[in-house]
Amino acid sequence: MKICFNQATTMKKSNLEMDLILSEKIGYDLIEIRLDKLRDYLRTHTVGDLADFFKTSRLRPFAFNALEGIIFRDGTAYGQIKEDLKFLCEVGDQINCKKIVVVPSFDIGDYTKTEIKDESVRVLRDLGAFAEKYNTKLAYEFVGYPNCAVNTFGQAYEIVKAVDRDNVGLVLDCFHFHAMGSRLQDLKAADPDRIFIFHIDDAEDLPIGALRDDKRLWPGEGAIDLDAILSTLRDIGYHEMASVELFRPEYWEWDIEEAIRVGKEKTEEVVGEYFPIG
């Protein structure tokens, strides 16, 4: 399993340049780049600078996070999503980063699961056809909040299966999986090739529907049954990467290098019980 750093973990005080240097120094294999951090970086750097960094590093870019709220949007908002998609595809082309996380919408009202599925399939086919021109994949990330239109693994899996495109899959985030009570049996029945990205984290012990991102904890320090998720991933044959993704305000106050180092240690400790690291 390759170990990946997700920039959300140091979101408040760090920036892309610092996350790159420190992730390389600490020995991560991969990094997930946030769209907002990329835009900040490009105020004082060029995409060429970013490409140059990766030419001399061991660290590789794995995915961009994220295009948010992609379903049930009006023309203007959807146009902006397509603009952002084009931007990420073009940057990705220059740095060889070929995956983009896409996120469903929140607070959409009374749409049924069938309507949400149909709309997700329509949008993911449209965005997926565009991304394919750049040989780029889209990973749909269900969010374990009650007000997210797609909030369980089973629901998201059914959607990406119906999309039926090789370049559209999903993100499995342990926090989101746990937070709305996704079923292990759905993960057991999944084709590992449809899991494009694996986010690892842990959480405080709150009831179903009550968890929010600020309650995330380092892997192994919370209530999520990571053993069940990791052993299931091993059983179904997923072994590509694990990306440590925290959104905990407390950790945002830490020394940046310390947070990036601890993220790697905690992830390796938990993942290493089930997979060889690297």
Q: How far is the CB of 244 from Zn ion (least distance, A)?
A: 10
Q: How far is the CB of 257 from Zn ion (least distance, A)?
A: 23
Q: Is 53 or 232 the residue whose CB approaches Zn ion more closely?
A: 232
Q: Is 53 or 61 the residue whose CB approaches Zn ion more closely?
A: 61
Q: Is 89 or 170 the residue whose CB approaches Zn ion more closely?
A: 170
Q: In this chain, which stretch among 85-93, 127-135, 151-159, 191-199 interacts with Zn ion, using CB under 5 A?
A: 191-199
Q: Is 199 or 215 the residue whose CB approaches Zn ion more closely?
A: 199
Q: Is 173 in the site for Zn ion (CB under 5 A)?
A: yes
Q: Is 120 or 243 the residue whose CB approaches Zn ion more closely?
A: 243
Q: In this chain, which stretch among 68-76, 152-160, 170-178, 227-235 interacts with Zn ion, using CB under 5 A?
A: 170-178
Kindly write down the DSSP assignment for every residue of the chain, as one continuous string: -EEEEEGGGGTTT--HHHHHHHHHHHT-SEEEEEHHHHHHHHHHS-HHHHHHHHHS-S-EEEEEEEE---SS--HHHHHHHHHHHHHHHHHHHHHT--EEEE---B---S--HHHHHHHHHHHHHHHHHHHHTTT-EEEEE---STTBSS-SHHHHHHHHHHH--TTEEEEEEHHHHHHTT--HHHHHTS-GGGEEEEEE-EE----TTT--GGGEE-TTSSSS-HHHHHHHHHHHT--SEEEE----HHHHTS-HHHHHHHHHHHHHHHHTTTS---
Contact characters 235-254, Zn ion, x per CB under 5 A:
----------x---------
Q: Is 53 or 137 the residue whose CB approaches Zn ion more closely?
A: 137
Which is it for the CA torsion 169, 173, 178, 179, positive or negative?
A: negative
Per the structure block, which two tokens stand in for 3?
Answer: 């170990």
Binders of Zn ion in range 149-168 (CB under 5 A): none
Binding-site residue total for Zn ion (CB under 5 A)?
3
Amino acid at 16: L
Contact characters 22-41, Zn ion, x per CB under 5 A:
--------------------
**Among 98, 117, 199, 264, which residue interacts with Zn ion (rule: CB under 5 A)?**
199
Q: How far is the CB of 64 from Zn ion (least distance, A)?
A: 13
Q: How far is the CB of 224 from Zn ion (least distance, A)?
A: 13
Q: How far is the CB of 248 from Zn ion (least distance, A)?
A: 13
Integer CA distances (angstroms), 136 to 88, 99, 175, 248, in order: 10, 6, 26, 30
Q: Is 201 in the site for Zn ion (CB under 5 A)?
A: no
Q: Is 29 or 173 the residue whose CB approaches Zn ion more closely?
A: 173
Q: Which residues contribute to the site for Zn ion (CB under 5 A)? A: 173, 199, 245
